[in-house]
Amino acid sequence: MSLANAGKSKVKKAHQYIGLAYIAPWLIGFLTLQLYPFLISFWYSLTDLNLFREPRFIGLDNFIQMFTANADFWQSFRVTFIYVLAAVPAKIAFALIVAMIMNQKLRGINFFRTVYYLPSILGGSVALAILWKLLFMSEGVVNHYLSFLGIPGHNWLGDPGMALTTISLLQVWQFGSSMVLFLAGLKQIPAELYEAGRVDGASRLRMFFHITIPQLTPIILFNLIMQMVNAFQEFTAAFVITNGGPLKSTYLYGYMIYQYGFDYLKMGYASALSWVLFIVIMIFTVVIFKSSSMWVHYEDAGDF
């Protein structure tokens, strides 16, 4: 090897070490705070771990008990699926509608964009959940204003048929992050497409379905996956607002994991519940990605 090539090789290795040094904080955090807990939780799911004794290996007993002898598991699964199916499409649709309004050239539009984004900054916080509870409790603000209109109030959080819908609205209300993405996508759509549509005599509704929606499908895909994952993991609303009630009508899966882990101290069983949730989320994510080739439009035809 010539001296010149040897020198280049040393420089290349030095650059590689510098690169590793730059990503070292992230790498350490990923290994210690994400990968290790992720792997150790699988081991715990095969044990009877609690806070008072060493874990004992019990094989698949936690999973067998979960599917065959735990009525709470199926109730929580049913409630969580309904919650996801209701909250995610409603949130995406609402975010798109607001983004289209925010895309108009109106006076003070930047102020309104900031205001509409605020709920997402506080998203998932206990304070926001408490606010929602104060709004929809029997003596809350919503019933108070309904009484002014002569409309009888409703037990929004105490009615088993209404409680899940009420906490689903909290998820929909935190639409700010999805709205910002849709707004960025709307600004990237070439104006020439709409001009061509108008020349061809297309109505606004037709241009919406044939130009706007296809151009936004990559953003819809991203929002769909992110909001679906968040909805499956929802915990704060069920814990703070309804405590899983009434009659376990809001017994979301995230709250059930917390309850088995910290109320009943069954850490091994809670780990098994977490792994089932992880598998369910992965299945839904893979299905959505596989189906995206049929409905997502990319400018580069998906080459990159």
- List pLDDT tens digits, range 153-211: 888 898 898 999 999 998 888 888 888 899 999 988 998 999 999 998 889 899 999 99
Q: Where residue 75 sits, what CATH number does that domain have?
A: 1.10.3720.10
pLDDT tens for 71-104 read 899 999 999 999 999 999 999 999 999 899 888 8
- The CA distances from residue 137 to 45, 163, 244, in Å, are 38, 10, 15
- Please answer whether residues 186 and 103 qualify as being in contact, where contact means their C-beta atoms are separated by less than 8 angstroms: yes
Average pLDDT of span 111-116: 73
pLDDT value at residue 172? 87
In a domain, residue 302? The reply is no
Number of domains comprising the chain? 1
Residue owning tokens 């049913």: 78
64 belongs to a structural domain = no
- Domain assignment of residue 179, yes or no: yes
Residue 266 lies in a domain: yes
Q: How far is the CA of 183 from the CAs of 9, 22, 119, in angstroms? A: 47, 33, 17
* pTM: predicted TM-score of the whole model, two decimal places: 0.86
Which residues form the domain of 179? 69-293
Give how far the C-alpha of residue 283 lies from the chain's centroid of Cα atoms, to the nearest Å: 15
Residue 304 has pLDDT above 60, yes or no: no
The reply to whether 227 falls in a domain is: yes
**211-234 per-position pLDDT tens digit:** 999 999 999 999 999 999 999 999
Q: Of 50, 36, 74, 35, which is closest to residue 269 (Cα–Cα)?
A: 50
What the block records as the tokens of 250 is 């809001």
Note whether residue 43 is domain-resident. Answer: no
Respond yes or no on whether the N-terminal peptide bond of residue 190 is cis (omega within 30° of 0). no
**Band of pLDDT at residue 113, cut at 50, 70 and 90:** confident
214: nearest Cα among 185, 238, 179, 246: 185
Residue 23 within any structural domain of the chain: no
